[in-house]
Amino acid sequence: MQKLLFIFNESPYGTEKTFNGLRFAVNLLEENGKEVEIKAFFFSDSVLAGLAGQNPNDGYNVQQTLEVLTGLGAEAKLCTSCTKARGITHLPLVQGVSVGTLDDVSAWTLWADKVINF
């Protein structure tokens, strides 16, 4: 089994990096679910991807894509320090998403065969 850690840093709607990384992770699980295990950690402005209630007017929806990813069995965590800095620690999160720590992402990095950054 291939173990992949996706690390996100970009705002979910400032560029398409976060969305593209999530799409890529979803595709890997949909096409190779029995051969791949995925974890996703969100730093910096990418923690905004984990907020519930997103309703973009047009185009892509990061919340829906993240819900599909966690629904397929991926684990997803938001950096605690990053959520505190943005005042969002106590806001509702996307289903399947939780707040994590540097200890979590450090352990996940050692667990992973590959680390992919977006």
pLDDT-derived band at 42 (thresholds 50, 70, 90) equals very high
Over residues 50-61, mean pLDDT: 87
pLDDT-derived band at 14 (thresholds 50, 70, 90) equals confident
The rounded distance, in Å, linking the Cα atoms of 2 and 16 is: 25
3-state helix, strand, coil in the chain (%, to 5): 40, 25, 35
Per the listing, tokens 């709607």 go with: 13
Looking at residue 55, its pLDDT comes to 85
Looking at residue 108, its pLDDT comes to 98
pLDDT digits (tens, 9 = 90+) for 69-99: 999 999 999 999 999 999 999 999 999 999 9
**0.85 exceeded by pTM:** yes
Complete domains list, the chain, with CATH: 2-117 (3.40.1260.10)
Question: Is pLDDT at 58 greater than 90 in this prediction?
Answer: no
